[in-house]
A and B are shown apart, each in its own frame.
Chain A
Amino acid sequence: MQFDQKISALQKQIQGYSREELLWFNGYLSGLLANNQIATTAQLESIAPTIQLNPVVLYGSETGNSKKLAFELLKLFKQNNIQARCFDLATYKVKQLAKEEFVLFICSTQGEGEAPVSAQRFFGELEHEALDLSTLSYSVLGLGDSSYPLFCKAAEDLQILLNKHGGVLSIASQKLDVDYKTAAHQWFKEVINHVLNKSVTPIHNAVENRQELNTQPKEISTRTKRSYKGIIGHSIILNDRESNKKTYHIELESDEELDYSPGDAVGIYPKNKHEVCAEIATLFKATDRAFELEKLTITGLSGNTLKKLEDILTIEVTDKRIDLIDLLNLYPANKQVTFDQLLTVLVPMSPRLYSISSSALTNSHQVTITVALAEFESNGVNKSGVCSSFLSSLSVGQDIEFYIHPNSEFYLPNADTDIVMVGPGTGIAPFRSFLQHRDLRGDSGRNWLFFGEQHFVCDFYYQTEIQQWLESGVLTKLDTAFSRDQKYKIYVQDRLRQQSKQLWQWIESGAILYVCGQKSPMSQDVENALVEIIRENTQSSEEQAVAYLDTMFLNGQYKKDVY
C-alpha cells in the first residue's frame, strides 16, 4: 500500500504547522470534500480525459533522425494518455490517409530536395492518387540542412500535396535545420496541446469506458467457433534474404467485424497443391475431378487410412507414414480401383490452428497470423507442410475461409498485471497481439519479452514494431537470443537463466509467465530453466521447484501455448 508513504509525506509536510493552521486545513479539506471540489484517487484514475483525436505519426527517414523524433513524439503521446499510432512512410498506404483524422508528418529532405528514398513511393502515390482528405487535419515537421539550397523541400512538397487533396493544416508546419532538437520539442508541445484541447472529460463516461476496457475475457469459454469469409489483405516473408527460414506475416481481412481476443487462434482449412491432386486423379483416369481431392488428407497417411488403402489396392505398405502420391508410385496397385472407390477411403483434412498475431483493437476487420513455412525432406524428396505451403501460396486478394478459435487458457491478465512473454520463432505471434492490445488499451502492467531465432540480421520478427514498443515504454524489457550469431548457441532459456534474479522478482510480484512456440525442444528447455530459476531463488530441491511451477500453472500464473 502506498498509504503509509502518503501519511509520512503528509506528516513531513505539516511539520511545524501551528495548531491553528492545522485546524484551518482540517476544515478546508472537509469543505472541499463536501462540495465535491477535489478529485479522489478513484476519480483521478477515471478522470483521464477522453481523447477525441487519435493522432497518427508518419515519418520519412533517411538517416534515422525523423524516425527518432517520431518515436519521441509517440512516447509523449503515451505519457499524456493519448492513443497514437506511428508508421514509416515506407510501409504506409496512401489510401489509409482518407480514414485518418489527425496526422503528424515528420520528414527529412535529401540531396537535391528529394524525400527520403524509403518515402518516395508514398510521395509518388500522394501525387497521383485521387484522394479526399477533407476530414484530415495535419501538420508537417520538416528536417533539413539550410546549407543546401532546397531547404526542407520534401516537407514543403508534402504540404502542397496534402492541401491539394483537401487536407487541413491545423498546426503551423516547421522547417528545422541540423540543430533541430529544441524547435522539434516546441512543435511537440503544440501538437500535444492541440490534442488535449480537443478532448473532453466527462467523468461518468470515462468510468464506464474504463470498466468496459478492464473486463477480462472471462466469458471467453462461452464464445463459439465462428467462420468468416475473407481475403488475403497482405502477405510477406518476415525473414530477410539470407535467412534459412521463411516465416510469413499474413493479414486476413473480412467485411465482417471479427470477434477475437489476444491469445485466440485462427483455424484454416488447407487445400492440397493442385498439381498433386491432378497427378493422383490422372492415375485414376479422372483428371477433371482433381478438385475433389483438394480438401482430403492425401499427405502423411498412416493408421486407418493406410490400412484401408492397402485393402482396396491389395498392396502391402512398409512405410509407417507416406504421402498418397508416393504410395501410388512406390506400391503399384494389384487391383483396378476407381476414383470414387479411392474417395471413399480418404478423410477430410482437419483445420490447422495458428496463434493470432494482431489485436482487434488495431483493426476489427483484420486478423494476422505468423506462419513458418514447414520444409523438410522425406525419402530424399523436398516436401513442405500442407497448410503452411497452402497459406504461403496465397496471393493478395485471394479468398480464404477461416474461423476464430477461442483459447480459454491463454489470455491477457488485468491491465495492471505484469507479464513475461517467452516466444521464440513464430512463438512471438500471440505476444505481438498482447503488446498491440496493451498498447492501445493503455494497460499499466509491465511487459517483458524474450525472443529468439537464428540470426539477428534476418530473423528478428517484427523488429521495427518491437523497437517502437520499447521506445514508447509499452515493452519494458526485451531479451533476445540469436542462436547462430556467435560461436556457441544461445537460446531463450539461456537468457532466462541470465535474468534469474530479476525474473524471480517479477514472478514474486505476481507477473504472469507465458510461453509460446515449439513444444519440443523449446518449451521443455524453457521449463527446465524455470525449474532451475525457482530452485536457485528459493533454495529448494528439484521436486519442490517442479511442484512450485505446477502450482503456478494451476493458478494460471504460468501459461503455455505450445505446438
Chain B
Amino acid sequence: MSQDKLSPIESIKQKSDGLRGTLSQSLQDNYTGNVRPDDEALIKFHGMYVQDDRDRRQERAEKKLDKLYSFMIRLRIPGGVITAKQWQAIHEISEQYGTGVLKITTRQTIQLHGLLKHQLSDTIKGFITAKLDAIAACGDVNRNVICSSHPQVSPIFEQIHNYADRISTMLLPKTQSYYEIWIDDQKVYDRSLESDPLYEDNYLPRKFKIAIAIPPTNDVDVFANDIGLIAIIENEQLIGFNIAIGGGLSTTHGNEKTYSRLATVIGFSDNEQDTMKLIYEVLTIQRDYGNRSDRKQARLKYTIDQMGVDNFVAELEKRAGVRLQAPRAYTFTERNDRKGWQQAEDDSWYYTLFVENGVVQPNQKEFLSHLAKLRLSDFRFTCNQNLILGEIATEDKWMVEKLIKQFTIETTVSGLRESSMACVAMPTCPLALAEAQRYLPVLVSKVEPLLVKHDLTNDQISIRMTGCPNGCGRSYLAEIGFVGTGPEQYNLMLGGDRYGTRLNKVYKAKLSEQEILEQLDILFDRYKKEALDSETFGDFSHRKFFT
C-alpha cells in the first residue's frame, strides 16, 4: 500500500465504529437539515447522499436560511427486479416523502430525491417493511450488482439474476448499524456478529461496481465495471463466465493521472464456487493494495495498472486457489433495450417502457401504480434506465394493454432519444459542473431536426450526457458523448462504438449548445456521405478522427 498520508475519508471509516459515526446524534441536531461533516461520508454507506438545491443557495442565504439540504436514497436491488407489491411500497413512500420523483438509475435501481433529514427513518422503515434496503448502495463498498435484464433474449436470465443476488449478499458489509440507526434505535451490543473479514474496518479504498452481461446484449456496459462477468452460453446452458476486471470511466478535468479504462478480460471460470472465490479475492486485493491516500487514484483500474495485469492475476489465482482458463469467445451486438411487447421462451410476456433518462413521468407513475395494485407483473429496471413489466401471463396481457392505452403510455420517440442517457447533475448533485438530466431531452429535441435533415431519424445513435467527468451517465461509452466542463459547456466525445466495447475520445472541448449543433450538423452530413456499408456513426467517427 502507498506510504503517503491516508486520505481524510480513511480515518472517518476507521473511527466509525461499524459505519455508525455520530449519525444518531446527527439526526437529533435540530439546527440543521444536514448531518455532521464526518457523517456525510458515512451516510453514503447506508445508501444516502446529502445534497442541497444549488439553484436555491443564494436566495436562501439572503433569507438567513441554511442551504436546502435534502437526501437522496438509492435502493439496493441486485439485478433490478422487484415485485409489484414492492413497487407499490416505493410508490407510496415517494408520495409521502421527498420530491415525489422516482428516478431509475443507470445501475438498475431506484432512487428518491429531496428527503428531509427528519423523514429518513420513516422512509427506511417503509422500505424495510417491503423487504427493500439501501445498504451499501453508495460508499466505498461493492455497490448494486447489475445484470442483463432481458429474459426474452436469454432463458438463463433467472440463473444470472440469482448470481447477482448472491454476489451482492456475499459482499455486504457485516455491520448491523443500518438497522440500529434507522430502524429500531436499539444498540447492537453483541459485536461479534459484525466482525468483517472482507471489509475489516476500512472498507475499500473507493467504490466498487460489478456487472453481469448476457451476450449478445451489453445493456450493462460490462466493461465499465470493476468486475464484469460475461456469461458464456453453449446449447442454451450457462457454462461459466469470462471475467473482466479494472473497468471504470470517471476522470477529473485537468488531472492527467486520471483516465477511463475498459475492463480487461483475464480468463474464464466454469463453476460457481470458483467464480465467487475469484470475485471475493479481487476485492481483497483491491482492499490491500488500492491507493488509500489519493481518492482520485483509488479505483481498482489504477491498482491493476500499478501492479500490472499479470501480477494482479497471479495474486488473484494465488488468493483464490483457482487457475483461470483461457477466455471463451462471445460477441455483443446490441446494447439498447427491446421496447414494447416481447414474449419469452416460457410464453410469458414482457413489456418495456421507455423512461427518458430514468425520470418516471407523472402519467407513467400513475399507470405503474394502477398496474402494481393488480399484481399482474413484476417490475424490472434496466441499465438503460427503462422499466420492464415482466412475467405477464398471456391471459392477463389485455389488462395491461388496456392500462397502457388509458394512460397514453405508448409513445413514439426517435432512435436517438431512445438511445439517450443522462445522470442527475444539477441542481442536486454536488459534483455537477453542468446540466445533464434536465438538459439532454432539450438538446435531443434540437438534434432531431438535424437527423431529419440528414435522413438519420431511425438510426439508433447512442447519445449520453454526464454533468461532470465522473461519468455516472457513462458518456465515455457513447457514440456521441457529452461531459460537462462548466455551465452550459461540454466536451464533445466521439468514436465510441454502439455496444460499449470501445471508449470515445474528446473531439472538441468546451462547446456551447450552438457549437454542438453546428458540429453535429457537419458530422451527420459527412457520415451520410462518407460512411461505409452498415458502418455505425461511432465506428465512422472512430475511423475518421482517431485512427
Contacts and interface: CB of A to CB of B under 8 A. Distances in A.
Interface size, B (range): 35 or more
B321 interface: no
Interface string B41-84: 00000000000001011111111111110000000000000000
B5 A148 contact: no
Interface size, A (range): 35 or more
B30 A462 contact: no
B153 interface: no
B435 to A, nearest CB: 14
A463 B64 contact: yes
A514 interface: no
B253 A112 contact: yes
Contacts, number: 94
Given A64-B37, A90-B62, A148-B255, A470 B116 contact: no
A480 B66 CA distance: 15
A179 B7 contact: yes
Given A90-B57, A147-B296, A456-B116, A64 B65 contact: no
A178 interface: yes
Contacts of B32: 467
A112 B253 CA distance: 8
Contact of B66 (A65, A179, A467, A486): A467
B27 to A, nearest CB: 13
Contacts of A479: 30
A16 interface: no
A457 B97 CA distance: 14
Interface in A465-491: 465-467, 470, 478-480, 485-486
Contacts of A467: 31-32, 66
Interface in A52-100: 63-65, 68, 88, 90-91
Interface string B101-134: 0000000000000001010000000000000000
Nearest to B30: A480
Contact of A147 (B30, B37, B66, B294): B294
A63 B430 contact: yes
Given A148-B252, A148-B253, A460 B65 contact: yes
A117 B57 contact: yes
B23 interface: no
Interface stretch (A38-46, A232-240, A266-274, A525-533): A232-240
Interface in B426-443: 430, 433
B486 interface: yes
B66 A485 contact: no
Given A456-B118, A457-B33, A90 B61 contact: yes
B58 A64 contact: no
Contacts of A470: 31
B8 A178 contact: yes
B485 interface: yes
A91 B62 contact: yes
Nearest to A89: B61
Contacts of B8: 178-179, 181
Interface in A436-467: 456-458, 460-467
Interface in B249-308: 252-255, 257, 294, 296
A548 B13 CA distance: 52
A118 B58 contact: yes
30 contacts: A88-B61, A91-B64, A111-B433, A111-B486, A112-B254, A112-B433, A112-B485, A112-B486, A117-B54, A118-B57, A147-B252, A147-B254, A147-B296, A148-B255, A150-B254, A178-B7, A179-B7, A240-B56, A240-B60, A240-B68, A249-B64, A456-B118, A457-B116, A460-B65, A463-B31, A463-B64, A463-B66, A464-B66, A466-B31, A478-B31
The 10 closest A-B pairs by CB, nearest first: A90-B61, A149-B254, A480-B30, A147-B255, A118-B57, A464-B64, A463-B66, A111-B433, A463-B65, A462-B64
